[in-house]
Each structure stands twice: as structure tokens, then as C-alpha cells.
Amino acid sequence: MTRHLLRLCLVALPAAAAGTQCDKLAAMTIPQVRIAAAAVVSAEGGLPEYCRVQAMARPTADSEIHFEVWLPAAASWNGKFQGVGNGGYSGAIATAALKKALQAGYAAASHDTGHSGDNMMFAQGHPEKLRDYAYRAVHVMTENAKLLVRVHYGRFADRAYFVGCSAGGHQALSEAQRYPDDYDGIVAGAPANNRIRQTFAFLWSWMATHPDGALVLPGEKLPLITKAVVDVCDTTDGLKDGLVGDPRKCGFDPAALLCKGAGDGHCLTVGQVEAVRKVYEGVKDPKTGERIFAGWPKGSEDFGDGSWRQYILNPKEPMRADFFRFFLFHDPNWDWRTIQWDRDLAYAENKLGFMQAVDRNLAPFARRGGKLLMYAGWSDPVVAPEDTVRYYEEVTAAMGGAHQTLPFARLFMAPGMGHCSGGPGPNQFDAVGALDQWVSAGRAPEQMVATHATKGTVDRTRPLCPYPQVAKYKGSGSIDEAANFACAAP
């Protein structure tokens, strides 16, 4: 057979014929990995047929990282791989994210961060499991998932993307910083990458609203505060649309709600005013006044599907107090009243610095052609958006300015959006699609159109712009239509 005919025959072979069948993947012998099962799952519930691989990795003697790889049939595979992120301290496979990736044609993978459940006791006496959670599990999953893709389809994926928000955003930035060759493109939403200081901020805000351990700011007061914030700061961006464009420019003072006489539901007591002010200001060293971490933004207090309740008001003790008990001091009897802001923070960052992903030097990721798309909501009540902006600005400075950063890394801030989604502002957008166009076609995202829906019906669209640009109204047409806005300098 001539070389030309041989080439034609090879091209004619279906993709699946060049790879290994799904059920045969269980026979693979990968160092430090045990494949528990590999089986075809029939199309159902909007999902196409796919091969589900369940495996467990032991990169260290004390590791036990469970991960799954979902491989669509060759005919419906888009030729790309997507790793998906987790939330909080979750020790569970992110099946919802896997389903979304699969429906879009991706081969996809998720892991349990190396432990089961959300209980932070998993790290007590297990320092390697803590490192698995902090950064290693994502990398281990990624390497092995790429191998499974290669074996099953007979070739590597054309592109590899990582997509995550919150803890998944932390994982995303960790990948860009620690393992720049793992992914061609990364979506990092509301990244909790400054994890140690954020945990100190949870403690600070809880103590501000629970002086002496008792709640001073009832949740019923939150809508009052948010309404007052919007009334004062709605037009700081030049448009009256019910949204606070940039909370950093909002001059609202909670003292404006101070009760003149007896306290009631329409005003704040002196103690409540002080509590709100401290949450806005963020963590400060009581001795030096140095700011340790950004406060939560004005406008994030309460907006229906997100509020200060979950992480600040409602917990019976400071949120993530087990960080101090089981990760830092190894004392199950640790008392939040003993906190020493300066010394304890310095000790935490020295001892547990690997839990953060705050390296500003992304040059290795940029050099290999990687693209980073970050986003956050300006009304996020969980991950302080000001800290996300600060990190991006510091990356820009470290990389030599915007002209060096914008070609590979862009941040999109969404006014009125909560944590990862939700809120009164437009909060649904196709970050993965924008990233794919950037990586595959070289078209950097000049904007992303976001939508807001009420009871399933879209009632507002608005462009999200590469920071520091903002969406500016052109002066005519509906303020609820993205076409009537343009991205411009603030």
C-alpha cells in the first residue's frame, strides 16, 4: 500500500477505533492510581451517552483523592477537556459542573479534594491531606484525566480548560500559579485565593456583629441597610438603575440610619451602626490600624438570594473557626476570644502559606500562551470583591502594566451580582465560551453580555467589561438592553 493510500485509510478510521473502549479502561495500571470502575452511562435527563471513570489517587501514603472523568462518545466530543472546581471545603465530586461540561461536549473531570464531606477535622493529624485539599488534588486529577482522555480517544485533547468559582476560583488561580502547563485557559470566578486572610475576615465580621458572643445586628435590619445604600449610591456610576456600580465609590455612612429615639425596625442602634461600619471597613490590626483584609461591599447586606446572614450573622460561632482549631493551632478547644490579629496572622501565613494562591507573578503561565479570565460580583457577600480587584491590580503591576497583562489575563466585575451568580444585577454569562474563543481563535473578550432574569424571564442585559473599564450608557434606548452600553474607562 502506498504512503498516500495509507494516510487516507488512517484518516477514514473513526476516532473511537484508535482508542480504548470504556470498559477496558478499568484495566489500566497507572502509578499511584487505582481505577475502581469504568462503564458506559446511557443518555438520560438531557445528558448524552458517556463513559464514566471512577478512580482514586495516592500521591502520598496518606492521600486518598477520589476523582471522576466523564468521557462523551467520540461523535459528540468537542475535542477538549475541562477540569471543574469545588466549593468551600467540599469533599465531593462536583456532579452539576460535570453535567454542564458534558452537555457542552467536553470530556470533564472533578475530584473530592482528598477527603469526604465539609468537616474540617479531616486535616487533624493529616498534613498531607491538607496539602491535597489546598492545591495537589487538582493537579493530580488533571494529569490523570488527561491520560484517560488520551487512552480512550487515541489522542490528547486539543485544549484543556479549568473552570471554577469561589473555592474553585482559588483552585483556578492555584493552577495558573503552581502548574502553568496544566491548562491552556482558566476561568477563575470570585476566587477565594487569599484564603488565610479571608478566614480572619470571617472571624472579624462575626466578632463585629456578635460582641461578647451575642448577635447585635438581626437579619431583619439588612434590607433596610441595603435600601439605604442603593438610595445613596445608585447614581455614582451616572445611571439610576437600582445597582451600585462600584461600592468603593459609595459614600454611604450607616450612621445615617441611627435611631433618634427608641430603636425600631426602621433605624439602627449605636451598636448596630458600629457593627455595620466594621464589616464594611474590613480586618484591621487593633494595635497599628493596618488593614489586613478588605471588608464586605456596600450593597451586599441583603438582596433576596444572598446576604450577610450565611457567613456573618447566623453562624453560632465564627465561620470556619475550625480552620484555627484543626489547621492552625491543633487545639479543639481553641477560643475565638484569644485571637491576636498580628501574631496569629503572621504565624498562619508562615505555617500554612501553601493554602493560599496569591503569587502575582504569572509570567510562566503567560509565556506558555495561557489565558486567564477572572470575574466577580460587586455585591458578593462571601468573597470580598475588593480583594479580587486588588490581586488583579497587583498582578498587572508585577507583569509590567496593563499592556503586558491584558493579552493573557482579564478581570470582569459585575455590578449587583452576588457570590458566583445571583443578585439584582445581570449575573449569567458565558465565561467558558469567551475563554474558548480567546484560546482557540485568539479573540480576546472585549466584553461579556450578562443577563438578569425574574421567574425565568430575562428582564435586563448588560455588558461586563475588562477591568478597569465599565459599561457606560450611550444616552438613548432602554437601560435594560446591553446594546445601549459601551465599555469605556471609568
Q: How confident is the model at residue 15 (pLDDT cuts 50, 70, 90)?
A: very low
Count the helices and strands in the chain (H runs, E runs).
14, 15
Out of 3.40.50.1820, 1.10.10.410, 1.10.3720.10, 3.30.2350.10, select the CATH number for domain 15-194+356-445. Answer: 3.40.50.1820
Q: Average pLDDT for residues 15-41, to the nearest whole number?
A: 91
Query: Which of 351, 377, 373 has its CA nearest to residue 299?
Result: 377
Which of 9-13, 156-160, 352-356, 382-386 comes out lowest in average pLDDT?
A: 9-13
Q: Above 50 in pLDDT, residue 162?
A: yes
Q: Average pLDDT for residues 115-136, to the nearest whole number?
A: 96
What is the rounded (10 degree) CA torsion for 339, 343, 344, 350?
A: 180
Please, are residues 175 and 191 in contact by the beta-carbon 8 Å criterion? no
Q: How confident is the model at residue 330 (pLDDT cuts 50, 70, 90)?
A: very high
**Bridge pairing between strands 371-377 and 185-189:** parallel
Please, are residues 388 and 190 in contact by the beta-carbon 8 Å criterion? yes
- Give the number of C-alpha atoms closer than 13 A to the C-alpha of residue 64, restricted to the C-beta side: 9
* Cell numbers placing 159: 485544549
* Cell numbers placing 128: 498531607
Query: Which of 432, 374, 363, 444 has its CA nearest to residue 161?
Result: 432
Write out pLDDT tens, residues 247-302: 999 999 999 999 987 667 789 999 999 999 999 999 998 888 889 999 999 999 99
Q: How confident is the model at residue 487 (pLDDT cuts 50, 70, 90)?
A: very high
* Cell numbers placing 402: 496593563
With vertex at residue 105, the alpha carbon angle to CA 116 and CA 68, rounded to the nearest 5 degrees, is: 20
Catalytic site residues?
166, 380, 419
* Cell numbers placing 264: 425600631
pTM to 2 decimal places: 0.94
Rounded to the nearest integer, the mean pLDDT of the chain is: 94
Q: Where in the chain is the domain with CATH 3.40.50.1820?
A: 15-194+356-445
pLDDT of residue 303: 81
